[in-house]
C-alpha cells in the first residue's frame, strides 16, 4: 500500500499548498478519517508516516511560508500545557522506556495530536473559517457513516482498502460491528460521536439547518453502527448534553444532582457508583472487567511503586489480579495515561482537559446570542462524550486527533464567536 499512500499524500500536499489554509486543514481532516495510519503508511526510519502525518507537514509549510498567520499567533496557557504534556510524557518515559522506542511512540503522537491542535489554533481564528471546516467535516463524516451502517447491516466493509480484517462480530442479535476505515470498531464509534456533536453546531446557522440535522443524525447513526461500548457512551453523552441545552441555566443544579445521585448509589447500593457507567457495555463480563481494572489500579496495589513515572509501555500485568488473561487490556484512557506515564504525565493531561473546559466556559459567559451559545454548547457536547467514553476505551489515531482539534476549538472559541 506504500504506493497508494504516497500518491494520496502527494495529492493532499498539492491541495494544501494551493488552497486557503482552512481548506487545507479540511483536506487533512478528510484524508485522516478516510485513509488513516492503519490503512497504509510510509516508513521513514523508525516512524511510520500516514497520509495525514505527511499532509500536516505541508500545511505548516504553507502557514509559515505563505501566510501571516504565525505572526498573529498569541500564546495562551492551553498552548503551553499541550507542550508541557508531551515534554512530561517524554521525561516520564526516559525512566521506563528504551530511548528509541520512546522517540518512535511520542513523535507519532506529536504528529497526530499536537500538530493538529496548533494547526487549528493558527488557522481557525474567526467564525467563517470555523463554519467552513465544520461543513467539510460534517459532509465527510456523514458519508463515512453511511458506509459504516451498511457494514453493520451486512457485515461487508466496502472501505477496507485491501486490509486484512477479522471476521465480523454480531451484537444485539442482528447488527455487525462496523469498523469502516478505522483500526477498531470502538475508535470508529467514538470518532463519529464526537463529529456528530460538532456537526450539530451547524443546525442554527443560516442556510440549510434541516440538511445539517440529517447529516448529524447520520453521524450518530454511524456511531451506533460501531456496536461498541465506547461509541455508545460517547453518543449517549453527547446527545444527552445537547438535549440539556434547553435547561442550560440549571447547570449548577444538574451538577449537584449528579453528585447527589452518585453519593446515593454509593450509600444504598452494594456496588460503587462507577459500576453504572460500566453497564453501558454489551455484556456483563466486559462491564465487570472494566470495573475490576479500576479497582486493581487504585485499591489493590496496581500502581504501587509506579505512581511517579508509571510502567512505560510495559504491561503492568494487572490481569493476574483480574481474570488471569495473558495481558492487561487497558480499556480506560485515564488509566492508560496513569499507567504509562505516572503522575508526571497524568497531571498535565488532566490540566489540558480542565483548561480546555475553562476556555469554553469563558466563551460561554461572554456570548449573548443563541447561535453562538449553541456553537459552544455543541463543542462541549462532543468533549463530554469522549471524556465519558474514556472510561470504556483507551484511544489512539483519528479520535485523538479530533480531540486535540477540539481543544484548539476551545482555545479559539472567543475569536470564533466574535462576528466581523
- Cα–Cα–Cα angle for 88, 382, 121, rounded to 5 degrees: 55
161 has a pLDDT exceeding 80: yes
Q: Span 176-191, mean pLDDT? A: 93
pLDDT of residue 272: 61
44 has a pLDDT exceeding 80: no
271 has a pLDDT exceeding 80: no
From 72, 92, 123, the end of a domain falls on 72
358 lies in the same domain as 400: yes
31 lies in the same domain as 159: no
From 42, 72, 102, the end of a domain falls on 72
388 has a pLDDT exceeding 70: yes
What's the total number of domains in the chain? Answer: 2
172 lies in the same domain as 60: no
Question: In this structure, what DSSP letter does residue 35 have?
Answer: S
Q: Span 31-60, mean pLDDT? A: 86
Residue 43 host element (H or E): strand 41-44
pLDDT of residue 180: 93
55 lies in the same domain as 82: no
420 has a pLDDT exceeding 70: no
47 lies in the same domain as 171: no
What's the pLDDT tens digit per position in 334-354? Answer: 999 999 999 999 999 999 999
Bridge partners of 175, per DSSP, are 171
112 has a pLDDT exceeding 90: yes
Q: How confident is the model at residue 48 (pLDDT cuts 50, 70, 90)?
A: confident
146 lies in the same domain as 220: yes
Other beta carbons within 10 Å of 183: 16
CB contact at 8 A, 367 and 376: yes
144 lies in the same domain as 281: yes
pLDDT of residue 402: 96
248 lies in the same domain as 323: yes
286 lies in the same domain as 382: yes
Using CA atoms, how far apart are residues 337 and 115, in angstroms rounded to an integer?
A: 20
131 lies in the same domain as 5: no
61 lies in the same domain as 151: no
56-70, 251-265, 381-395: segment of lowest average pLDDT: 251-265
273 has a pLDDT exceeding 80: no
pLDDT of residue 349: 97
Using CA atoms, how far apart are residues 198 and 405, in angstroms rounded to an integer?
A: 11
Report DSSP letters for 388-415, one per residue. Answer: HHTTT----SHHHHHHHHHHHHHHHHHH
| Dihedral sign (CA 243, 186, 43, 162) | negative
Using CA atoms, how far apart are residues 56 and 61, in angstroms rounded to an integer?
A: 9
Q: Span 320-344, mean pLDDT? A: 90
- Cα–Cα–Cα angle for 341, 396, 138, rounded to 5 degrees: 140
Using CA atoms, how far apart are residues 43 and 412, in angstroms rounded to an integer?
A: 34
160 lies in the same domain as 17: no
What ranges in 205-332 are assigned the alpha helix state H? 209-225, 229-243, 251-268, 275-278, 284-299, 319-322
Mean pLDDT of all residues in the chain?
89
CA 417 to chain centre: 23
For the chain, what percent of residues have pLDDT higher than 90?
60
From 52, 72, 92, the end of a domain falls on 72
Q: How confident is the model at residue 190 (pLDDT cuts 50, 70, 90)?
A: very high
Query: What residues make up the domain containing 381?
Result: 77-420
pLDDT of residue 253: 76
Using CA atoms, how far apart are residues 58 and 55, in angstroms rounded to an integer?
A: 5
Q: Span 155-170, mean pLDDT? A: 85
With 0-12 CB in 10 A as exposed, 13-18 as middle and 19+ as buried, what is 75? Answer: exposed
Amino acid at each position: 500500500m506504500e504506493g497508494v499512500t504516497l500518491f494520496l499524500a502527494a495529492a493532499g500536499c498539492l491541495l494544501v499548498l494551493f488552497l486557503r489554509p482552512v481548506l487545507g486543514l479540511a483536506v487533512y481532516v478528510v484524508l485522516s478519517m478516510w485513509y488513516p495510519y492503519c490503512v497504509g503508511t510510509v516508513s521513514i526510519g523508525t516512524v511510520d508516516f500516514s497520509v495525514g502525518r505527511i499532509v500536516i507537514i505541508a500545511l505548516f509549510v504553507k502557514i509559515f511560508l505563505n501566510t501571516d498567520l504565525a505572526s498573529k499567533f498569541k500564546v495562551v496557557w492551553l498552548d503551553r500545557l499541550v507542550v508541557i504534556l508531551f515534554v512530561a510524557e517524554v521525561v516520564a518515559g526516559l525512566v521506563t522506556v528504551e530511548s528509541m522506542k520512546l522517540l518512535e511512540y511520542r513523535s507519532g503522537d506529536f504528529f497526530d495530536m499536537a500538530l493538529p491542535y496548533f494547526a487549528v489554533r493558527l488557522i481557525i481564528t474567526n467564525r467563517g473559517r470555523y463554519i467552513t471546516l465544520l461543513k467539510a467535516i460534517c459532509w465527510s463524516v456523514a458519508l463515512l457513516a453511511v458506509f459504516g451502517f451498511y457494514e453493520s447491516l451486512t457485515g461487508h466493509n466496502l472501505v477496507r482498502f485491501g486490509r486484512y480484517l477479522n471476521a465480523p462480530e454480531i451484537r444485539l442479535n442482528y447488527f455487525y460491528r462496523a469498523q469502516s476505515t478505522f483500526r477498531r470498531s470502538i475508535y470508529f464509534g467514538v470518532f463519529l460521536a464526537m463529529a456528530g456533536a460538532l456537526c450539530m453546531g451547524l443546525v442554527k446557522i443560516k442556510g440549510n439547518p434541516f440538511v445539517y440535522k440529517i447529516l448529524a443524525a447520520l453521524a450518530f447513526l454511524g456511531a451506533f453502527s460501531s456496536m461498541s461500548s465506547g461509541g455508545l457512551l460517547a453518543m449517549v453523552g453527547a446527545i444527552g448534553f445537547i438535549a440539556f441545552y434547553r435547561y442550560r441555566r440549571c447547570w449548577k443544579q444538574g451538577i449537584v444532582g449528579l453528585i447527589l445521585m452518585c453519593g446515593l448509589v454509593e450509600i444504598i447500593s452494594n456496588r460503587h457508583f462507577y459500576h453504572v457507567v460500566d453497564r453501558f457495555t454489551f455484556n456483563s463480563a466486559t462491564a465487570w472487567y472494566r470495573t475490576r481494572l479500576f479497582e486493581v489500579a487504585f485499591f489493590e496495589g496496581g500502581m504501587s511503586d509506579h505512581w511517579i513515572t508509571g510502567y512505560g509501555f510495559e504491561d503492568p500485568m494487572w490481569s493476574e489480579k483480574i481474570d488471569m488473561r495473558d495481558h492487561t487490556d487497558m480499556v480506560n484512557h485515564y488509566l492508560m495515561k496513569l499507567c504509562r506515564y505516572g503522575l508526571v504525565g497524568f497531571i498535565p493531561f488532566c490540566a489540558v482537559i480542565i483548561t480546555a473546559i475553562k476556555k469554553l466556559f469563558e466563551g460561554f459567559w461572554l456570548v449573548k446570542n443563541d447561535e453562538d451559545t449553541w456553537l459552544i454548547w455543541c463543542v462541549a457536547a462532543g468533549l463530554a462524550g469522549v471524556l465519558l467514553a474514556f472510561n470504556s476505551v483507551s484511544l489512539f489515531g483519528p479520535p485523538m486527533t479530533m480531540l486535540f482539534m477540539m481543544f484548539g476549538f476551545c482555545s479559539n472559541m472567543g475569536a470564533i464567536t466574535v462576528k466581523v
